[in-house]
Amino acid sequence: MSMPSTFDGDDETQHWPAAGKRSIREVDFFSSERRGWPEDSASAPPKEIPAHEDHKLALLSVGPCEEGDKTIQPSDLHLSNTTMTNWSLKIKLDKLKDENRKLRIMLDCANQSYGALQTQLALLKQEEVLKLKNTASSIDDDPRKSLIAHSCKNIRPASLSDPETDRDSIPIDKHEVSVRRPRVSIRARTDAPMISDGCQWRKYGQKLAKGNPCPRAYYRCTMRAGCSVRKQVQRCPHDEAVLVTTYEGSHNHPLPAAAAALASTTSAAAAMLVSSSTTNPSSNLPPPLFTDHQQLGTSILASYSYSSACPTVTLDLSRFPSWNPPNTNCYSMMLPPPPVFNSSSISRDLHDGQFPGHSPSTSSMTEAVKAAIDTDPSLTSAALAMTISSVLKANPSA
DNA sequence: CGTTTTTGACCTGCGC
DNA sequence: GCGCAGGTCAAAAACG
């Protein structure tokens, strides 16, 4: 198994140990290195200060440096005016660098925490699914619980002799690997063979799907070992200019910053898919995410598709003329923890307003998108994704 | 030489 | 039970 050599996200996380080392050096400076410095600096400090000496200056700039009971001030050193000026500038620069470094550490910390929370959420949701499964096993006349029970058939403890009896002994994370999770599919009009979404992928298979002359390619995420996210890339059989990218699974690592926007969007979309099944128990069908906006001239289309095993959210972005390359090169996926809840064989497009009680009228979603496009006709996909995401979060019923 | 892609074989689920 | 289709595996080939 190989790891990509260039990965912003991993690079981000790798700053942690580096930052730790730098922090230790600062402590070491106080404990040992500092002791010899005043004597060594009886003459003027060097004009060219080695990079590894930066921390000394930064610390000195924060306040007086103490040697035992004696306080060492810069003026105690015999320096020429020019050297003092340079030194002062250097000190200011070092302070800024130090501040930068601290901010970077804080950012890394936030990223790490976010990744950890995502993992925790995945585990909690998996446990919830298992609990629901156990509850549902004794009830067969409630349609909603039957759906849950049905979905649990898709839990496949691979390579176990007796899945039924062994299931409870399997660690949760193994369940996550085998669970059929909701998918998010994105349709985008592009000539590129594959949209660049900020992640590293390795192709592991290719198939000719029936009814489509274009092969379907299978990729798995290689940004971190054990990441379960996979994606399928395929040209639309009806319009080969449209590239259909389907994501499945949840990343076990922080994503590059550039990947955050659409990740947020798809997370919200899939979360909607999930919550709709739990907040609307009277109906087996979820409400629409959002609908066509005919006034736009273009339209955003979101649809649920319940195949035999995998509920799928489709975001049709192919109708945005401005989304031709190069703007289609900033998609990103990070699916939410994968709750399993439905596997009915119903497939419907929502833009037709086929759901009773769910009007295809103008939604806040499309209003927001329209406003965004009006504001900036050259809107990038990432920016538009953020708009969609924010509306989904602010108005779950949109 | 290590990594990635290709591609045929194999596995699994589903419908008949 | 059988056949089909989707998905995955893994050895071989290609690539840098």
pLDDT at A107: 61
Nucleotide nearest to A205 (CA to C1'): C8
Most confident of A51-65, A196-210, A244-258: A196-210
pLDDT at A92: 82
**Greater pLDDT, A308 or A197:** A197
Residue A120: pLDDT over 50 = yes
Please name the residue whose C-alpha is nearest to the C1' of nucleotide B15. Answer: A308
**Greater pLDDT, A293 or A263:** A263
Strand B footprint nucleotides (protein C-beta < 7 Å) = 2-9, 12-15
Residue A312 near residue A183, CB atoms below 8 Å: yes
> How is residue A353 written in tokens?
């307003």
Split at pLDDT 50, 70, 90, the class of A376 is very low
Cα angle A336, A341, A343 (rounded to 5 degrees) comes to: 115
The answer to whether strand B lies under 7 Å from the CB of residue A258 is no
Residue A29: pLDDT over 50 = no
User: pLDDT digit string (tens) for A302-340?
Assistant: 666 554 456 677 777 766 553 443 333 333 333 333 333
Split at pLDDT 50, 70, 90, the class of A218 is very high
Nucleotide nearest to A3 (CA to C1'): B3
Distance CA A203 to C1' C11 in A: 15
User: pLDDT digit string (tens) for A265-290?
Assistant: 666 665 655 555 444 433 344 444 33
pLDDT at A214: 87
**Greater pLDDT, A97 or A380:** A97
The answer to whether strand B lies under 7 Å from the CB of residue A308 is yes
Residue A245: pLDDT over 70 = yes
Residue A244: pLDDT over 60 = yes
The answer to whether strand B lies under 7 Å from the CB of residue A347 is no
Residue A128: pLDDT over 60 = yes
User: pLDDT digit string (tens) for A143-156?
Assistant: 333 333 333 333 33
Q: Which of A126, A123, A180 lies closest to A154, judged by CA?
A: A180
What's the CA gap between A379 and A327, in Å, rounded?
8
pTM attached to this predicted model: 0.46
